[in-house]
């Protein structure tokens, strides 16, 4: 690592470079260029530096140079340009160019497109001065590389080569190397001739020291998102087979000894630790596997290929790591000792597992199935026993045959790796990762009379009770309705019988007596023709009143015997009266506007008598040729209008005909009884219009006997 003095020197050089840039002077150190802000670097200040080429690939416009103050990226001249020397890592050069903004950090450009547009011309050139060793590289960890602190710098890292793949571009001989470390993965690009590539592939799963230039990709906000180590030659990779073998030669440590106190050892936790065990479960998406031994279980994280299988007995070396989830190994390297080795699970109760000492171990436990949930990739079982609950599911490496269906309430015996719940606040004490369907064994089925079936039974009884209650309620309503019909029928029959009785009484008494009075008055008129004028007028008035009374009595008897209003309503009763008169005078028209609204029988009876009286007067006294009866139904009022084209009269002076006077007087009295307004419009020779307006008081239709 650079010393504190070196950092101070670099800082002073950067300040001096910034002052030079502001004065328009040529920058002569890489630190001076790197000290520029991106906006200042974009001004294309002149640069002239000397240094060592650490990586060069003109095909991809990649070039890196480093002097005593640091390293930086430079954009090479176009391929095929004249006077451009053939360069390689280790060449000492003098470079003349301009500053450039860069994607992540300031850089140097030798490309003509980046020439400054103002000021004097700058001759961009690169001159090879000789060849020398690569600069000394500080040893840094992979996590420091990913921070951007060493961007464009030549560094060393220790990592495990995991996979070596030949680059697909035929124009360049290059390998893509996936490496790993205790601090995470690392991507390496190695310039490698074809004849050396097989040797590099032999280094897979070998720890090595790798020297190269830190580069990387940025996102749309110019933030570093993926660091890459650019390696110019195979010589920059130094596999440490001896150190790795020394780790395997260490005595195997028990899982329970990891992160336990012991006297200081050489290397400490910076050295890989050696453990042995049998693979109990493989989890590809989490990048590792569980090892089992007599000490319990241990999680090993590794990208090593090809993957192991359940039952493999392994020797493993890796870096100890620990946290809230326990202890595990990072960046594990394994060697297979035997395959398909049987391993017996630890038989435990839920109470014992909940104590937390068996996390990571292969255990066998019994529980009652409470519920189950289908997920896109697996089925999740929820179980409980001894007051504890837990989840169980098949791991990704398990077989893909459909899981057997179990009824809720079944008792199951499960074998799997015990894990700590992801959520510390979860109700579940632990979870189980199962290896295959055979890890679930049915102990006993639930009794037929389960809680769920009891719920269904209670629900059915409640539904049946609700149906019976609804049926009883409907039956009561039907009985009530039928009782009302019967009561109404009895009421109507009683009313009809009473009306016929009254009609008989009126016919046998009042009408006969009125007929007798009329005979006596006629006898008086015949026997005394020479009565004084006042007496004669009084006698005529009495005879007229008697005739009107007989007519009204006869009409009342007919109405009592008729059920027209009751059965057909007001309009039907009027139509029946008109039809009876049409036989002798087919000049009466009935018009209806709106929807008929039934009124009380009292109102309808009075309106019927007014209409009948109006028609009688028009036919008998006005000699009308046509009569129109119009009903207008509105939500607020009922309008009845009787219009004729008879002789008419002066409405302000009623006619002298006695029966007409009595008829008009009777109509007014009937209108007053029902709180209606009656108006008469008539002039001599222009007919007559009688209008009745009564407020609407709709009543429900009474049930009637057929």
Tens of pLDDT, residues 664-704: 888 888 899 889 999 999 999 889 999 999 998 655 444 33
Q: Which tokens sit at 251?
A: 């005595």
The pTM is what? 0.59
What does the alpha-carbon distance between residue 7 and residue 241 come to, in Å, rounded to a whole number?
Answer: 35
So what's the pLDDT on residue 33? Answer: 94
Q: How confident is the model at residue 663 (pLDDT cuts 50, 70, 90)?
A: confident
What does the alpha-carbon distance between residue 400 and residue 677 come to, in Å, rounded to a whole number?
Answer: 93
So what's the pLDDT on residue 125? Answer: 87
> What are the residues facing 156 on neighbouring strands?
139, 211
Backbone CA torsion sign across 590, 592, 596, 597 = negative
Q: How confident is the model at residue 502 (pLDDT cuts 50, 70, 90)?
A: confident
Please give the domain boundaries of the chain with CATH numbers for all domains: 4-131 (2.40.50.200), 142-239 (2.40.50.140), 244-261+269-338 (2.40.50.140), 346-444 (2.40.50.140), 450-561 (no CATH), 569-706 (3.30.565.10)
Q: How confident is the model at residue 120 (pLDDT cuts 50, 70, 90)?
A: low
Q: How confident is the model at residue 7 (pLDDT cuts 50, 70, 90)?
A: very low
So what's the pLDDT on residue 9? Answer: 47
So what's the pLDDT on residue 121? Answer: 62
Q: For residue 385, which of 366, 364, 371 has the smallest C-alpha distance?
A: 366
What does the alpha-carbon distance between residue 117 and residue 136 come to, in Å, rounded to a whole number?
Answer: 38
So what's the pLDDT on residue 12? Answer: 52
By CB atoms closer than 10 A (0-12, 13-18, 19+), residue 40 is middle
So what's the pLDDT on residue 384? Answer: 94
Q: Which tokens sit at 690?
A: 């009688």
What does the alpha-carbon distance between residue 457 and residue 175 come to, in Å, rounded to a whole number?
Answer: 70
Instruction: Output 484-492 pairs: Cβ under 8 A, ≥24 positions apart.
Output: 484/703, 485/703, 488/702, 488/703, 488/704, 489/703, 489/705, 492/566, 492/704, 492/705
End-to-end CA distance of the chain: give it in Å, rounded.
115
Give the lowest-confidence range in 57-71, 516-530, 622-636: 516-530
What does the alpha-carbon distance between residue 64 and residue 155 come to, in Å, rounded to a whole number?
Answer: 13
What does the alpha-carbon distance between residue 511 and residue 41 come to, in Å, rounded to a whole number?
Answer: 131
Quick one: average pLDDT of 209-224? 90
The answer to whether 491 and 703 have CB atoms below 8 angstroms apart is no
Angle at which helix 601-620 crosses helix 658-673, to 10 degrees, equals 160
The CA-based angle 187-190-191, given to 5 degrees, is 155
So what's the pLDDT on residue 661? Answer: 56
E strand map for 404-512: 411-419, 430-434, 440-444
Quick one: average pLDDT of 4-13? 49
Kindly compute the dihedral angle of the four CA atoms of residues 211, 212, 218, 222, in this order, to the nearest 10 degrees. 100
What does the alpha-carbon distance between residue 611 and residue 613 come to, in Å, rounded to a whole number?
Answer: 5
Name the residue with higher pLDDT: 405 or 291.
291
Assess whether pLDDT exceeds 90 at residue 27.
Answer: yes
| Model confidence pLDDT, tens digit, residues 162-208 | 999 998 888 889 999 999 998 889 999 999 999 999 999 999 999 99
What does the alpha-carbon distance between residue 503 and residue 562 come to, in Å, rounded to a whole number?
Answer: 10
| Model confidence pLDDT, tens digit, residues 241-282 | 998 999 999 999 999 888 887 777 665 556 899 999 999 999
pLDDT over 70, % of the chain: 84
So what's the pLDDT on residue 617? Answer: 85
Which 8-state DSSP code applies to residue 700? Answer: P
Assess whether pLDDT exceeds 70 at residue 319.
Answer: yes
So what's the pLDDT on residue 82? Answer: 73
So what's the pLDDT on residue 698? Answer: 55
Give the lowest-confidence range in 1-5, 231-235, 457-461: 1-5
Q: For residue 573, which of 534, 541, 603 has the smallest C-alpha distance?
A: 603
| Model confidence pLDDT, tens digit, residues 560-609 | 545 666 677 888 888 888 887 776 665 889 999 998 888 887 888 889 88
Number of helices followed by number of strands (H, E) in the chain:
13, 29
Name the residue with higher pLDDT: 241 or 120.
241
Q: How confident is the model at residue 706 (pLDDT cuts 50, 70, 90)?
A: very low
Q: Strand, helix or coil at 238?
A: strand
What does the alpha-carbon distance between residue 388 and residue 394 come to, in Å, rounded to a whole number?
Answer: 20
Q: Within the chain, what is the greatest distance between any pair of CA atoms? A: 173
For strand 326-338 and strand 296-301, is the pairing parallel, antiparallel, or unpaired? parallel
Q: For residue 290, which of 305, 280, 304, 302 has the smallest C-alpha distance?
A: 280
Which 8-state DSSP code applies to residue 27? Answer: B
Name the residue with higher pLDDT: 524 or 46.
46
Residue 75's alpha-carbon distances to 27, 38, 86, 126, in angstroms, are 17, 16, 15, 11
Alpha carbon 604 to its chain centroid, in Å, reads 63
| Model confidence pLDDT, tens digit, residues 443-470 | 999 887 767 778 888 899 999 999 999 9
The answer to whether 218 and 224 have CB atoms below 8 angstroms apart is yes
Name the residue with higher pLDDT: 190 or 500.
190
The CA-based angle 699-705-706, given to 5 degrees, is 115
Give the lowest-confidence range in 20-29, 350-359, 362-371: 20-29
Name the residue with higher pLDDT: 82 or 414.
414
Q: Of the ranges 35-49, 212-226, 584-598, which is most confident? A: 35-49
Q: Strand, helix or coil at 614?
A: helix
**Under 8 Å CB-to-CB from 703, ≥6 apart: which residues?**
484, 485, 488, 489
Kindly compute the dihedral angle of the four CA atoms of residues 316, 319, 322, 328, in this order, to the nearest 10 degrees. -10
| Model confidence pLDDT, tens digit, residues 129-155 | 999 999 999 999 999 998 888 999 999
What does the alpha-carbon distance between residue 139 and residue 158 come to, in Å, rounded to a whole number?
Answer: 8
Assess whether pLDDT exceeds 80 at residue 214.
Answer: yes
Quick one: average pLDDT of 630-638? 92
The answer to whether 40 and 21 have CB atoms below 8 angstroms apart is yes
Q: Return the half-sphere exposure (C-beta side, CA atoms, 13 A cut-off) of residue 275.
A: 30
Name the residue with higher pLDDT: 575 or 232.
232
Average pLDDT across the chain, whole number: 84
| Model confidence pLDDT, tens digit, residues 325-354 | 789 999 999 999 999 999 999 999 999 999
Q: How confident is the model at residue 103 (pLDDT cuts 50, 70, 90)?
A: confident
Give the lowest-confidence range in 105-109, 549-553, 665-669: 549-553
What does the alpha-carbon distance between residue 91 and residue 134 come to, in Å, rounded to a whole number?
Answer: 9
The answer to whether 305 and 276 have CB atoms below 8 angstroms apart is no
The answer to whether 95 and 48 have CB atoms below 8 angstroms apart is yes
Q: Which tokens sit at 165?
A: 């793949």
So what's the pLDDT on residue 541? Answer: 73
Q: Strand, helix or coil at 285?
A: helix
The answer to whether 647 and 623 have CB atoms below 8 angstroms apart is yes
Q: Any idea which residue has 């023709």 for tokens? A: 529
Name the residue with higher pLDDT: 291 or 112.
291
The answer to whether 342 and 435 have CB atoms below 8 angstroms apart is no
Q: For residue 644, which of 668, 633, 660, 666 has the smallest C-alpha distance?
A: 660
Q: For residue 298, which of 363, 365, 361 has the smallest C-alpha distance?
A: 361
What does the alpha-carbon distance between residue 459 and residue 464 come to, in Å, rounded to a whole number?
Answer: 9
Q: Strand, helix or coil at 260?
A: coil
Q: How confident is the model at residue 555 (pLDDT cuts 50, 70, 90)?
A: low
pLDDT over 90, % of the chain: 45
């Amino acid at each position: 690592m650079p010393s504190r003095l070196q950092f101070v020197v670099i800082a002073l050089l950067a300040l001096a470079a910034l002052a030079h840039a502001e004065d328009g002077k040529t920058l002569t150190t890489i630190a001076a260029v790197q000290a520029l802000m991106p906006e200042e670097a974009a001004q294309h200040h002149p640069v002239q530096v000397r240094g060592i080429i650490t990586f060069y690939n003109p095909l991809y416009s990649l070039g890196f140079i480093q002097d005593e103050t640091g390293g930086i990226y430079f954009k090479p001249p176009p391929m095929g340009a004249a006077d451009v020397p053939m360069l390689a890592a280790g060449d000492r050069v003098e470079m003349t160019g301009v500053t450039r903004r860069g994607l992540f950090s300031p850089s140097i450009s030798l490309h003509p497109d980046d020439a400054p547009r103002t000021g004097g011309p700058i001759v961009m050139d690169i001159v090879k001065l000789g060849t020398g060793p690569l600069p000394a590289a500080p040893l840094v960890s992979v996590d420091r590389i990913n921070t951007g602190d060493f961007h464009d710098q030549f560094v060393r890292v220790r990592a495990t080569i995991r996979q070596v793949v030949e680059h697909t571009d035929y124009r360049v001989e290059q390998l893509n190397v996936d490496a790993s470390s205790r601090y995470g993965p690392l991507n390496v690009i190695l310039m490698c001739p074809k004849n050396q590539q097989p040797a590099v592939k032999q280094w897979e799963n070998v720890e090595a020291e790798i020297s190269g230039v830190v580069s990387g990709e940025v996102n749309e906000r110019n933030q570093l998102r993926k660091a890459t180590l650019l390696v110019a030659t195979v010589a920059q990779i130094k596999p440490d087979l001896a150190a790795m073998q020394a780790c395997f030669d260490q005595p195997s440590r028990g899982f329970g000894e990891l992160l336990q106190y012991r006297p200081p050892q050489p290397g400490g936790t910076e050295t890989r630790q050696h453990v042995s065990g049998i693979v109990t479960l493989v989890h590809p998406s989490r990048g590792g596997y569980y090892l089992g031994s007599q000490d319990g279980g241990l999680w090993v994280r590794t990208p090593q290929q090809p993957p192991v299988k359940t039952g493999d007995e392994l020797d493993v070396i890796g870096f100890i790591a620990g946290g809230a989830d326990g202890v595990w190994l990072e960046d594990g390297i394994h060697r297979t000792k035997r395959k398909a080795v049987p391993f017996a699970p630890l038989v435990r109760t839920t109470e014992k597992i909940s104590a937390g000492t068996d996390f990571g171990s292969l255990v066998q436990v019994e529980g009652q199935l409470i519920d189950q949930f289908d997920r896109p990739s697996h089925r999740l079982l929820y179980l409980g026993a001894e007051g504890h609950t837990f989840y169980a599911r098949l791991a990704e490496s398990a077989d893909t045959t459909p899981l057997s269906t179990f009824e809720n309430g079944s008792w199951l015996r499960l074998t799997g790796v015990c894990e700590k719940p992801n959520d510390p606040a979860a109700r579940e004490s632990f979870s189980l990762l199962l290896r295959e369907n055979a890890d679930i064994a049915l102990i006993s089925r639930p009794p037929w009379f389960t809680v769920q079936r009891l719920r269904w039974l209670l629900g059915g009884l409640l539904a049946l009770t609700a149906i019976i209650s609804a049926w009883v309620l409907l039956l009561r309503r039907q009985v009530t309705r039928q009782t009302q019909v019967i009561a109404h029928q009895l009421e109507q029959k009683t009313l009809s019988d009473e009306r016929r009785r009254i009609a008989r009484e009126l016919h046998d008494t009042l009408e006969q007596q009125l007929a007798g009075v009329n005979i006596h008055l006629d006898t008086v008129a015949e026997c005394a023709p020479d009565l004084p004028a006042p007496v004669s007028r009084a006698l005529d008035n009495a005879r007229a009143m008697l005739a009107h009374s007989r007519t009204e009595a006869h009409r009342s008897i007919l109405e009592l015997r008729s059920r027209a209003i009751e059965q057909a309503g007001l309009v039907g009763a009027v139509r029946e009266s008109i039809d009876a008169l049409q036989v002798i005078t087919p000049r009466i028209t009935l018009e209806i506007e709106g929807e008929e609204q039934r009124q009380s029988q009292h109102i309808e009876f009075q309106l019927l008598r007014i209409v009948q009286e109006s028609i009688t007067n028009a036919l008998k006294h006005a000699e009308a040729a046509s009569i129109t009866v119009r009903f207008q139904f509105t939500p607020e009022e009922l309008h009845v209008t009787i219009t004729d084209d008879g002789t008419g009269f002066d409405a302000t002076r009623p006619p002298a005909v006695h029966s007409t006077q009595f008829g008009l007087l009777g109509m007014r009295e009937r209108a007053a009884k029902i709180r209606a307004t009656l108006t008469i419009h008539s002039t001599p020779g222009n007919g007559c219009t009688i209008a009745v307006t009564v407020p609407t008081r709709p009543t429900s239709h009474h049930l009637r006997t057929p």
